[in-house]
Structure 1
Amino acid sequence: MVNHLLRAAIVACCALYAAAASVPAHGAGADLARYQPAPYSTVQHPEWTKNASIYQLNTRQFTAAGTLRAAQQELPRLKALGTDIVWLMPVHPIGKAHRKGSLGSPYAVQDYFAINPELGTLADFKAFVAAAHGLGMYVIMDWVANHTAWDATMRTAHPEWYLKDAAGKPRPTPWFDWDDIIELDYGNPALRAYMTKAMRYWVEEAGVDGYRADAAGFVPQDFWDNAAAELRAIKPVFLLAEWESRDMHARAFDATYSWTWWDAMRLIAEGKADATSLYSYYAWNEKFYPKNAYRMLYVTNHDKNAADGTEFEVFGPAVDAAIVLSVVSDGMPMIYNGQEAGNEKRLKFFERDPIAWKASPYGVLYRDLFALKKRNTALWNGEHGATMRQVKNSAPKQVFSFVRDNGQDKVFAVFNLSGKPASVTFEDGPQRGSYREFGSGTATAIGDVATLTLAPWAWKLYVR
């Protein structure tokens, strides 16, 4: 029976092949029209994002006063640092019911159309945005769409907009320790219209330039697709998703998080993985995500700082290498407030805990790296920059090396991602050329065969 069925299948396949081969040649071109590739992503990035970096600003802790007015005074410093997009953590009033700590989480939003009085007024917020624009910078708001505070203004008027548990009561997001919030039900068209209207309001009324979408994957993708279209009908906006999904780049988001990059770097720093563990991230980034996708790279943020520890606790002696790689590899870099001051404390999340500002080599490092990214077109974001090309070396488990070259500009980057010295040889490859070493400016020629010796966790950048 098996042999008979197999023979029948082969005969059928041959008949189909013969039929296909007999299609007249003059019809082939017309038939192929429907097989023309269509772009997976239709997102058009704002022009100002092509070589931009992001600065995450935790208004509560950013200054001694903890207000928008005080933060506005620091914008020239952020401009001098070389950042372009200021991401403000949620600025809305915070719920009091089931509040965590004395001040609560800014992600427990009480009113989407208001400003938290602890931070200032609507006029203060508009002044902040206007001041940023005056410096050639852009402002995005943190948008919390998945949930609200228990005592949100909209809950009284629209209890039907919330998901319910088995007892018919509003529920927090399951599994997480998020008992200070309750989830919204995006199966309700009226909720979708309200949330989109609120997002439009801040673009139209205050001039914000986009949003960072909190827990974006917990909200249906078609909501984001529609909201993005309405926002971009107003003006070009930048949308960042706190998620790591290719589909988010199709129609809605300019950028997504790079959690897997951070996780890989942490394991390397802890000695639990070697440099080759980064290959999966960069392979997926190049082949799985659309060419125009921006992936946000960072060594810390408000979540990591509060829950996992400072970048110094997490990465230890690997922190400098992690910072440099986050800026010069394929991705849009982000710096969390305080990093430029070498902040060594976990900022409290539910209380006031101002950053202790001081001069630090990390401020200089970030400034110089951002300046390099701006002027070297090979390091620009997404399709604007050059694809990373692996440079094979004699110690791949220790040393991570690559070139980014677009014919106009070029960077050869080498990282010893281990706690041991490394002496490596690079065979003939794309690294050949004449450069200046980043930092020292020393002229350097890399020939067909080159050897480098690097201290533990050391890095080298050669720039053309």
Structure 2
Amino acid sequence: MEGRERVVIESITPQIDCGRYPVKRVVGDELVVEADIFSDGHDEVAGVLLYRQQHEKGWQEVPLSRLENDRWQGSFTLSELGSYHYTILGWVDHFLTWQKDLKKRHAAGQDIAVDILIGVQHIERAAELAGPELAEKLHETAQALAHAPNRQRAVAIGLAPQLSTTISGCCARDLATRYPDELCVTVDRERAVFSSWYELFPRSCGRDRRHGSFKDVQSLLPELAELGFDVLYLPPIHPIGMTKRKGRANAANAEPGDPGSPWAIGSPEGGHKAVHPELGTLEEFRELVREAGKKGMEIALDIAFQCSPDHPYLAEHPEWFLWRPDGTVQYAENPPKKYQDIVPFNFETASWRELWEELRSVLFFWMDQGVRIFRVDNPHTKPFPLWEWLIREAKQRSPEVLFLAEAFTRQKLMFRLAKLGFDQSYTYFTWRNSKQELVDYLEELTRGAAREFLRPNFWPNTPDILNQYLQVGGRPAFIVRLVLAATLSSNYGIYGPVYDLCLAAAEPASEEYQHAEKYQLQEWDRDAPGNLKAVIAALNRVRRENPALQRTNNVAFYPAEDDGVLFYGKSTPDGSNTVLGLVNLDPFHAKQVRIQVPLEELGIKPGQSYLVQDLLNGDHFIWQGAWNSILLDPAQTPARLFRIRSWLRRERDFDYYL
């Protein structure tokens, strides 16, 4: 430690767990960094924000500006994928201190002759540390200051703003304090923060009870693109084991023709690097990936690190599994549930390095097929160090790769996975139904520390979850949850086509679907009466056209005089785009509700009329004042998305709107 370093640097934001994990941003974002920087005494302090891309050795810098109470701020633009490092340098700026004192003494009419000589010494010392060209200019300035013809001229030379900037920028840092840690920010592509997911089982895309194929999925791409989805998520596409295969409705014994669960991966036909033969060939999968890309969509593939008892790994690497005293392999359990068709890896095996390397090869194999988005099944049941290593390896290979954590588990486990590198996370949104639950949960995600590392992806349903709200609320409930998912979060997804068709039949006293597609083939009438395709298409169009809905952390909540109505809004940072959401959370009863529009935030003056447009159905209203009343009838319009336009008065007594 250098005892003459007098500057203190602390409380840097953003950072996670004292810099242990990177914060997250996307390309084009500006990273705003703040810190407390101060020193003893009354000397002036200066500082810079240092940053570099991970592969760079040299640092770039931007000056820090003072806020208040010894808080400083600087920022830089994240222009490329990958990682950036940043830290802060601060120092006592003796020349700036001299300028401050000179200005005060001059204003007070005091003798400044000695002060001028001190200033000359500062400039000459800076010249000794500067490069040849700059040193010459500094010597000239020092001489000009020393031989100034009068007091006024000397003060003008000494207080020149550019002079302090020059000296501070190159020559005043010999006793600078550098923050001891290099902090990190991971920079992902835009789809990490804005995406619309659609999940389907390829095997249910066939016709006339025929097992579906990649070709069948490919034929659906135009429809899904028209609906506005940009990510098509496929459950595991690998061969399915026969041993302990589950039957319909999760029956312990399969009947002839039962296809089994896609998550029971592996058979004599192959394992995690093979495709189910009835789905097609590997080349047909690659064609699906290419065709999806042509329509602005990506294929997201399920990564489930588990096996069926028939997986080749059990014979080739028995050391990777846990064997019971009776000689049988330990299958998966979550008592009282038993998954006899699934065998977990034993991550405490002495051969863990070989196991990790094989799992990495699985991931790289599918990246080689063109996949850049992975939904990871139950990551919270695998070691945290595995994910930190594996995600880092994948992103070094391709910074474009993204990972969604399917981890419906305890909060701290979900947060840890996000910190380790998962780009998106499933959340508790699926079970947050009341107004207060939604407000509290969104504020937890967007106002606390989680906003720096956890990107929520809201799913109203999954193949495993049909919550009670959807079971009893009918079509209005499906619309309500769809609108909330797609507008409260910038990342959202639905498990379709059961969601499109508002199917709500569940097993008794359960969140499990009746006739669950996990265990049997289904054939869907995607155009059946009452489907939500028009609503979904309109909602995704609104999301694409309004940048305010393409981020999550900008959500704000506003007063609505009914505990069953949620009123909220999102705006872009520059205020150029604002969308207000109004949702009746009661799927059974119409509500005439008074809401308070945030006029000041919208730049609308008191008493001014303004035009309100419902972006979902095109309705228009003319409102005046903050408090207004509107009907939300779940049978007709359970939710509205408003864009507000101000009316301006011209001199010739007619109105127009912006």
Give the TM interval when normalised to the shorter protein: 0.7 to 0.9
Q: Which residue of 1 aligns with 2:613?
A: 436
Counterpart amino acid of residue 192 in structure 1: W
- The structure with more helix, counted as a fraction of residues: 1
- 2:299 touches 2:373 (CA, 8 Å); kept in 1? yes
How far is the alpha carbon of 1:288 from its aligned partner? 4.0
Q: Which residue of 1 aligns with 2:445?
A: 285
Give the one of 436, 459, 463 matched to 2:639. 459
Asked if residue 172 in structure 1 is aligned to residue 331 in structure 2, the reply is: yes
How far is the alpha carbon of 1:447 from its aligned partner? 4.3
- 2:542 touches 2:616 (CA, 8 Å); kept in 1? no
Q: Which has the larger radius of gyration?
A: 2
TM-score, normalised to structure 1's length?
0.83
Q: Which residue of 1 aligns with 2:196?
A: 53
**What CA distance in whole angstroms lies between the structure 2 residues aligned with 1:22 and 1:80?**
60
Q: Which residue of 2 aligns with 1:304?
A: 465
- 1:254 touches 1:293 (CA, 8 Å); kept in 2? yes
Q: Which residue of 1 aligns with 2:402?
A: 238
- 1:63 touches 1:355 (CA, 8 Å); kept in 2? no
Asked if residue 400 in structure 1 is aligned to residue 566 in structure 2, the reply is: yes
**What CA distance in whole angstroms lies between the structure 2 residues aligned with 1:53 and 1:231?**
23
How far is the alpha carbon of 1:314 from its aligned partner? 4.9
**1:350-397: CA deviations, max 9, x gaps?**
222222221555101001101111110000044xxx6111102222x2
Asked if residue 409 in structure 1 is aligned to residue 586 in structure 2, the reply is: no
- The structure with more strand, counted as a fraction of residues: 2
**What CA distance in whole angstroms lies between the structure 2 residues aligned with 1:223 and 1:381?**
30
**What CA distance in whole angstroms lies between the structure 2 residues aligned with 1:315 and 1:178?**
31
**What CA distance in whole angstroms lies between the structure 1 residues aligned with 2:378 and 2:192?**
22
- Secondary structure in 2 aligned to 1:73? helix
**1:398-455: CA deviations, max 9, x gaps?**
2111110111211111112124443333346367554421234344455442222334
**1:20-56: CA deviations, max 9, x gaps?**
x9956779956985388945xx443223444321111
TM-aligned CA distance change 1:135 to 1:428, over 3 Å: closer
Query: Which residues of 2 match residues 60-209 of structure 1 at below 5 A?
Result: 60-64=203-207, 65=210, 66-101=212-247, 102-110=258-266, 111-145=271-305, 147-165=306-324, 169-174=328-333, 175=335, 176-187=337-348, 188-204=352-368, 206-209=369-372
- 1:140 touches 1:212 (CA, 8 Å); kept in 2? yes
Counterpart amino acid of residue 222 in structure 1: P
- 1:103 touches 1:351 (CA, 8 Å); kept in 2? yes
- 1:297 touches 1:326 (CA, 8 Å); kept in 2? yes
Query: Which residues of 2 match residues 265-414 of structure 1 at below 5 A?
Result: 265=433, 274-286=434-446, 287-291=448-452, 293-305=454-466, 312-316=470-474, 317-339=476-498, 341-342=500-501, 344=503, 346=514, 347-358=516-527, 360-382=530-552, 387-395=554-562, 397-406=563-572, 407-414=575-582
**What CA distance in whole angstroms lies between the structure 1 residues aligned with 2:186 and 2:323?**
35
**What CA distance in whole angstroms lies between the structure 2 residues aligned with 1:343 and 1:63?**
21
TM-aligned CA distance change 1:38 to 1:393, over 3 Å: farther
Q: Which residue of 1 aligns with 2:66?
A: none
What are the ranges of 5 or more consecutive residues in structure 1 without an aligned counterpart? Answer: 1-20, 266-273
- 2:203 touches 2:521 (CA, 8 Å); kept in 1? yes
Q: Which residue of 2 aligns with 1:424?
A: 593
Q: Which residue of 2 aligns with 1:223?
A: 386
- Secondary structure in 2 aligned to 1:313? helix
TM-score, normalised to structure 2's length?
0.60
Give the one of 614, 626, 630 matched to 1:449. 626
**What CA distance in whole angstroms lies between the structure 2 residues aligned with 1:246 and 1:408?**
33
How far is the alpha carbon of 1:293 from its aligned partner? 3.4
TM-aligned CA distance change 1:262 to 1:50, over 3 Å: closer
- Secondary structure in 2 aligned to 1:324? helix
TM-aligned CA distance change 1:303 to 1:51, over 3 Å: same
How far is the alpha carbon of 1:172 from its aligned partner? 2.1
What are the ranges of 5 or more consecutive residues in structure 2 without an aligned counterpart? Answer: 1-37, 46-89, 92-175, 248-257, 409-413, 506-513, 605-610, 645-658
TM-aligned CA distance change 1:44 to 1:321, over 3 Å: same
Counterpart amino acid of residue 373 in structure 1: R
**What CA distance in whole angstroms lies between the structure 2 residues aligned with 1:353 and 1:452?**
45
Counterpart amino acid of residue 362 in structure 1: L
- Secondary structure in 2 aligned to 1:119? coil
**What CA distance in whole angstroms lies between the structure 1 residues aligned with 2:535 and 2:296?**
22
Q: Which segment is superposed worse, 193-202 or 330-339?
A: 330-339
- 2:423 touches 2:455 (CA, 8 Å); kept in 1? yes
**What CA distance in whole angstroms lies between the structure 2 residues aligned with 1:114 and 1:37?**
42
TM-aligned CA distance change 1:25 to 1:415, over 3 Å: same
TM-aligned CA distance change 1:141 to 1:314, over 3 Å: farther
Counterpart amino acid of residue 571 in structure 2: D
TM-aligned CA distance change 1:165 to 1:252, over 3 Å: farther
**What CA distance in whole angstroms lies between the structure 1 residues aligned with 2:431 and 2:325?**
36
Greater relative contact order: 1 or 2 (C-alpha under 8 angstroms, separation 6 or more)?
Answer: 1
Query: Which residues of 2 match residues 245-264 of structure 1 at below 5 A?
Result: 245-258=414-427, 260-264=428-432
Counterpart amino acid of residue 61 in structure 1: S
How far is the alpha carbon of 1:460 from its aligned partner? 1.8
**What CA distance in whole angstroms lies between the structure 2 residues aligned with 1:315 and 1:189?**
50
- 2:200 touches 2:497 (CA, 8 Å); kept in 1? no
- Secondary structure in 2 aligned to 1:130? helix
How many correspondences in the alignment?
Answer: 424
**What CA distance in whole angstroms lies between the structure 2 residues aligned with 1:75 and 1:246?**
34
- Secondary structure in 2 aligned to 1:247? helix
**What CA distance in whole angstroms lies between the structure 1 residues aligned with 2:227 and 2:177?**
52
**What CA distance in whole angstroms lies between the structure 2 residues aligned with 1:26 and 1:99?**
75
TM-aligned CA distance change 1:422 to 1:228, over 3 Å: same
Percent sequence identity over matched residues? 21
**1:79-100: CA deviations, max 9, x gaps?**
1111001111100011111111
Counterpart amino acid of residue 238 in structure 1: L
How far is the alpha carbon of 1:211 from its aligned partner? 0.8
**What CA distance in whole angstroms lies between the structure 1 residues aligned with 2:545 and 2:181?**
36
Counterpart amino acid of residue 459 in structure 1: A
Q: Which segment is superposed worse, 185-194 or 29-38?
A: 29-38
How far is the alpha carbon of 1:263 from its aligned partner? 0.9
**1:103-151: CA deviations, max 9, x gaps?**
2110011101100112111121111111112222111110101x21111
How far is the alpha carbon of 1:303 from its aligned partner? 1.4
- Secondary structure in 1 aligned to 2:456? strand
